[in-house]
Homo-oligomer: A and B are copies of this chain.
Amino acid sequence: MSLQHDPRQNHLLAALALDEYKRLADNLERIELKLGDSLVESGQMMRHVYFPTDCIVSLLCVMEDGDSTEIGVVGGEGIVGISLFMGGETTPSRAIVQSAGTAYRLKGQLLKDEFYRAGPLQGLLLRYTQALLTQMAQTAVCNRHHSLDQQLCRWLLLSLDRLPTNELVMTQELIANMLGVRREGVTESAGKLQRAGLISYHRGRISILDRPGLEARVCECYGVVKKEYNRLLSYHRPGL
């Protein structure tokens, strides 16, 4: 198995003890995800959970009129489909691929079986869920109190943390959907960042030029979330 395509590039899978991982490994199905692919639809039963390695998935809350807002983002540190083991089976939100890449999927029932063994995986998934919860809470506050400029910075940094490169493929239209604002608003905020030399934007490709510069502009929300992820998920990799 090449290092390029190891399921254990996903942090949750990486944190499992070897025997635990082995029980799942044969059932992990590698899958290539394209921008815009839908992994979870509102209210629909899921067949699988997804462990991203180098892709990013957005959790979106969509309203009747079609307006939407991103309530969380999942990358190699997490899993898509928590409602399976939380017991609800479905959620009222959607999960959309925000950055193309690879993920490994697992039949829902197999994850549930492993979860209810009440081994280390259970604690791991619960702590991850709590981290996600923090992310959602902070997003709610950020939506309320901070400027679009700051929110854009937060969004870029959260994405960047989950990407291997400094470039993300993403139109302003899509970012606007995620943040739940107008496309023109994103154009303006991104323009400021570009004029400040922090990013370079070109037809659906954003290159981050000055990450410290972004961090200087971002609101506290980014830091709070990141710190909580580190606190809850800074496990060692046993059995490696």
Kindly identify which residue among B123, B139, B224, B232 contacts A140, using a CB–CB cutoff of 8 Å. B139
CB contact between A232 and one of B69, B88, B134 (< 8 Å): that residue:
B88
Q: Is the CB of B134 within 8 A of A91?
A: yes
Q: Is the CB of B88 within 8 A of A130?
A: yes
- Copies of this protein in the assembly total 2
CA distance A220 to B42 in the complex (A): 15
Chain A residues 167-202 with CB under 8 Å of chain B are 180-181
Name the contact of A91 in the complex, choosing from B82, B130, B139 (C-beta under 8 A): B130
For A136, the chain B residues whose CB sits under 8 A away are 71, 133, 136-137, 140
A83: chain B residues at CB < 8 Å are: 130
CB of A69 within 8 A of CB of B130, answer no
Are B180 and A145 in contact, CB atoms less than 8 angstroms apart?
Answer: yes
Question: Closest CB-CB distance, A114 to chain B, in whole Å?
Answer: 13
Determine whether A113 belongs to the interface, using a CB cutoff of 8 Å to chain B: no
Residues in chain B near residue A138, CB distance under 8 A: 61, 92
Partner of A141, one of B61, B123, B137, B145: B61
Shortest CB distance A225–B (Å): 9
Interface residues on A, range: 35 or more
Q: Is the CB of A144 closer than 8 A to any CB of chain B?
A: yes
> Is B86 a contact partner of A126 (Cβ separation < 8 A)?
yes
Whether a CB of chain B sits under 8 angstroms from the CB of A63 is yes
Tell me if A87 counts as interface (CB < 8 A to partner B). yes
Q: Assuming A88-B127, A91-B134, is B141 touching A180 (CB within 8 A)?
A: yes
Asked if B69 and A145 make an inter-chain contact with CB atoms under 8 angstroms apart, the answer reads yes
A228 CB within 8 Å of chain B: yes
Known A69-B145, A86-B129, A129-B86; contact A61-B140, beta-carbon cutoff 8 A: yes
Contact of A118 among B61, B116, B180 (CB under 8 A): B116
Residues in A lying within 8 Å of B, measured CB to CB = 59, 61, 63-64, 67-69, 71-72, 82-83, 85-88, 91-93, 116, 118, 123, 126-127, 129-134, 136-141, 143-145, 180-181, 220, 224, 228, 231-232
Contacts A69-B141, A92-B138 supplied; 9 other A-B pairs, CB < 8 Å? A61-B137, A69-B144, A86-B129, A87-B127, A88-B127, A88-B232, A91-B134, A140-B140, A145-B180
Pairs across A and B, CB under 8 Å, 8 listed: A61-B140, A71-B137, A85-B126, A86-B129, A87-B126, A92-B228, A118-B118, A132-B133
